[in-house]
Amino acid sequence: MMVKKLLGDLVKEERLRRNLSQNTLAENVHVSLRTISDIENYNANPRLETLSLLAKYLNISLDSVIFHDNPPADPYIEQIIYELNDCTDEEKQLALHTLRGLLEGLRKQK
């Protein structure tokens, strides 16, 4: 039940954060509305393909759900990591320096 609850909570939290209805999420991931509802209500045993589609679309980590080793990550950090995954090392280094400069500037404004 723990895995079902963690998965359901993650999916619902990320869906709501993106202002998506269950129906819209179902359409975008190409699963049934019932599948999304069952997952969010801890009643589903979704197929691996469904889990993979949801994780990719919502950019959530299934490792934290399956292995119970880490609490679900902050969705913003997950999105940043997702964006950086396809970058070259040079692009990652540039992004890191840019982020540090941006954060330094924002903190000075406070």
Question: Which carries the bigger pLDDT value, residue 110 or residue 11?
Answer: 11
pLDDT greater than 70 at residue 1: no
Number of domains forming the structure of the chain: 2
8 Å CB contact between 42 and 9: no
Listed in sequence order, the DSSP H helices in the chain are: 2-17, 22-29, 33-40, 48-58, 63-66, 75-84, 89-109
43 and 78 belong to one structural domain: no
For the record, the structure tokens of 56 come out as: 């990719």
For the record, the structure tokens of 37 come out as: 């509802």
Reported pTM: 0.61
Token pair 């540039």: residue: 94
Per the prediction, the chain carries an average pLDDT of 86
pLDDT tens-digit readout, 8-18: 988 998 899 89
Mean pLDDT of 87-93: 91
65 and 30 belong to one structural domain: yes
pLDDT tens-digit readout, 14-58: 899 899 999 999 999 999 999 999 999 999 888 989 998 998 898
59 and 8 belong to one structural domain: yes
**What value, to the nearest 5°, has the Cα angle with vertex 67 and ends 65 and 73?**
50
17 and 44 belong to one structural domain: yes
8 Å CB contact between 75 and 59: yes
